[in-house]
Amino acid sequence: MSLLTVNDLKVHYPIRGGFFRKVVDHVRAVDGISFELQPGETYGLVGESGCGKTTSGRALIGLNKATSGEMLFEGKDLAKMGKAERRGYTKDIQMIFQDPYSSLNGRKNVLSIIAEPLRNFERLSPKEELLRVQELVARVGLNPESIYKYPHQFSGGQRQRIGIARALALNPKLIIADEPVSALDVSVQAQVLNFMQEIQKEFDLTYLFISHDLGIIQHMCDRIGIMYRGRFVEEGTASEIYNNPQHVYTKRLIAAIPEMNPEKRFEKMHLRQSINEEYQTEYNNYFDKDGRMFDLKKISDSHSVAMQ
């Protein structure tokens, strides 16, 4: 059975206008996406800024209210639960936030930050709590003695490791990683990503990995969903998306990955030009008259594309 199944998830925000501030339209941040996560896998949500990928993740964890759709976690619909009922599932779904600087409370030391979920969900004695926090801090590669320091005393990579330790505190089944390395240096990014893969095996975690960086997604993910304007344009395994992209938007994203080999840069430039020509000449095959994406259609057992 799937750990998480999302069916036709929509998150719309009202646009109000006129003297009485009536709802005149909606911003369709997420406009009907569906996907599944199997236990132990990493699913990547990819797209440009504003495509709705972060909103989707925040809706799953309850930070944004879903307008409609199903979010089935182990068969139970999170969207239909009240706060009290949903609380029982909160400890199984945790989130690593994008900004390691604003996601940690600067007024609290590391001990209080990591212990907060433990205090909310588990009844530990002060000694048990201290040992648990020290164990988590050591596991993410920090000195256990640093638990009395404050966030401003750490580097960006160290702060993100603190965020990861907080997410691991309750032994969750699913971690939503919202661009966890986008604010970090490239060398630190590699350390954090490799560490996330290590703990995934150790703790048997499932990741929903949100990013706009296709290189990172290729390194981390088993399956990928490409988002554009709140909808999926393509979904498939990592090899299918990278080696056989079908939607013009997916092709443009992959072509935007920088080419490190100088000898292949002209070839990459011609590829981008040909994709741009395809976008101009075959636009109607990918988008309807209102500029919206078509529904996904299967082209293989694991590969779906939004085309006419």
Span 232-266, pLDDT tens digits: 999 999 999 999 999 999 999 999 888 888 888 88
Cβ–Cβ < 8 Å for 208, 269: no
Domain membership of residue 104 (yes or no) is no
d(CA 39, CA 206): 6
Domain annotation covers residue 24: yes
Token pair for 245: 């992209």
Does residue 140 sit within a domain?
Answer: no
Task: Give the model's pLDDT for residue 87.
Answer: 85
- Asked whether residue 206 is assigned to any structural domain, the reply reads yes
Q: What residues make up the domain containing 264?
A: 4-92+170-305
Task: Establish if 161 belongs to a structural domain.
Answer: no
Is 41 in contact with 222 (CB distance < 8 Å)? yes
Low-confidence ranges of the chain (pLDDT < 70): none
Q: Provide the pLDDT for residue 182.
A: 85
CATH of the domain at 279: 3.40.50.300
Cα separations (Å) of 36 from 20, 33, 87, 193, 224? 42, 10, 22, 23, 11
pLDDT at 57: 95
Q: Is residue 144 part of a domain?
A: no
pLDDT of 184 reads 82
How far from 268 is each of 57, 218, 248, CA to CA, in Å? 33, 19, 16
> What pLDDT is stored for residue 257 in this prediction?
85
pTM of the model: 0.92
Query: How many other β-carbons are positioned within 10 Å of the β-carbon of residue 155?
Result: 12
User: Does residue 190 sit within a domain?
Assistant: yes
Cα separation, 30 vs 155, in Å, equals 34
288-306: buried (b, 16+ CB within 10 Å) or exposed (e) per residue?
Answer: eeeeebbebeeeeeebbbb
**Domain count for the chain:** 1
Q: Are 227 and 247 in contact (CB under 8 A)?
A: no
At residue 48's C-alpha, the angle toward residues 212 and 245, to 5°, is 80
If one counts every other C-beta atom within 10 angstroms of the C-beta of residue 18, the result is 8
- Per-residue model confidence as pLDDT tens digits over 135-145: 999 988 899 99
Residue 212 has what pLDDT? 87
Judge whether 221 and 209 are in contact, CB under 8 Å: yes
| Residue 115, in any domain of the structure | no
Contacts of 148 (CB under 8 A, 6+ apart): 109, 110, 111
Q: How many CB atoms lie within 10 A of CB 33?
A: 23
